[in-house]
């Protein structure tokens, strides 16, 4: 799908710092004169946020297909009501997680073709211009996440082996789609990571962003 705006997604495991780095990048882009929309998945609209609450609640289903279908419903509404209109208006959309998270988190438990079918139904072919993968060893990320919040959600409570598998899938995606992905070491300090993220965006999308601003 072709759109006049720029769609940048942030991916990574628990505690990788996605929301923090999105805030840094949003400020930098706004200072350059861009209209920036910050959002997240699942979420971004009242309906999708309601699904998020269900998915991350202690009572949430652990069935991967149920999760994938709920993510797809939230994503379709998110794109229809927020992401799509923002892109068509020429904004830069920064999204905390997107389809790659579905592939990484549910990918080891249900058939890839089932996941892709749910993604196609939800997105109608919309893909990010750039995906920033904040890579971090799961043991470090989970420790960060626990410091951030005492509450443990559905995915954080999974064992370390699950999170290692999720990381491996993310890295495999990045290797297979190197034109879309950029892997950033999230173990560095916050300011250093922010500098690398900004430099990556300027390197990969600088020309497109300049055209948007002009």
Three-state secondary structure readout of 128-157: CCEEEEEECCHHHHHHHHHHHCCCCCCCCC
Read off the pTM: 0.93
Using pLDDT thresholds of 50, 70 and 90, give the confidence band for residue 1.
low
Using pLDDT thresholds of 50, 70 and 90, give the confidence band for residue 56.
confident
**Proportion of the chain above pLDDT 90, given as a percent:** 78
Using pLDDT thresholds of 50, 70 and 90, give the confidence band for residue 58.
confident
Higher per-residue confidence, 56 vs 123? 123
Confirm if 138 and 160 have CB atoms less than 8 A apart: yes
Model confidence pLDDT, tens digit, residues 103-119? 999 888 899 999 999 99
Query: Residue 101 corresponds to which tokens in the numbers above?
Result: 């998270």
User: What integer pLDDT is reported at residue 36 of this predicted model?
Assistant: 98
Query: Residue 203 corresponds to which tokens in the numbers above?
Result: 């390197």
What integer best gives the mean pLDDT of the chain? 92
Domains of the chain by start residue, with CATH: 6-213 (3.40.50.300)
Average pLDDT over residues 35-55: 96
User: What integer pLDDT is reported at residue 153 of this predicted model?
Assistant: 54
Strand intervals (E) in 1-103:
6-12, 36-40, 92-96
pLDDT at residue 188 greater than cutoff 90: yes
Spatial CA neighbour of 186 closest among 105, 150, 132: 132
Judged by average pLDDT, the poorest of 39-48, 57-66, 72-81, 188-197 is 57-66
- Burial label for 58, CB within 10 Å (0-12, 13-18, 19+), is exposed
């Amino acid at each position: 799908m072709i759109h006049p705006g720029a769609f940048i997604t942030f991916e990574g495991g628990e505690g990788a710092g996605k929301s923090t780095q999105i805030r840094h990048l949003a400020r930098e882009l706004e200072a350059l004169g861009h209209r920036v929309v910050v959002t997240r998945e699942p979420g971004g609209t009242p309906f999708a946020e309601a699904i998020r609450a269900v998915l991350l609640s202690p009572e949430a289903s652990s069935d991967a297909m149920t999760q994938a279908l709920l993510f797809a419903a939230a994503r379709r509404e998110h794109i229809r009501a927020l992401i799509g209109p923002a892109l068509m208006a020429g904004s830069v959309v920064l999204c905390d997680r997107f389809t790659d998270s579905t592939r990484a988190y549910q990918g080891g438990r249900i058939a890839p073709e089932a996941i892709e079918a749910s993604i196609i139904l939800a997105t109608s072919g919309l893909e990010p211009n750039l995906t920033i993968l904040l890579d971090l060893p799961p043991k470090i990320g989970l420790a960060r996440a626990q410091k951030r919040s005492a509450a443990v959600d559905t995915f954080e409570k999974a064992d370390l082996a699950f999170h290692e598998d999720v990381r491996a899938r993310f890295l495999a995606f990045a290797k297979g789609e190197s034109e879309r992905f950029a892997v950033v070491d999230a173990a560095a300090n916050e300011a250093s990571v922010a500098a690398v993220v900004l430099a990556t965006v300027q390197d990969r999308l600088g020309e497109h962003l300049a055209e948007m601003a002009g």
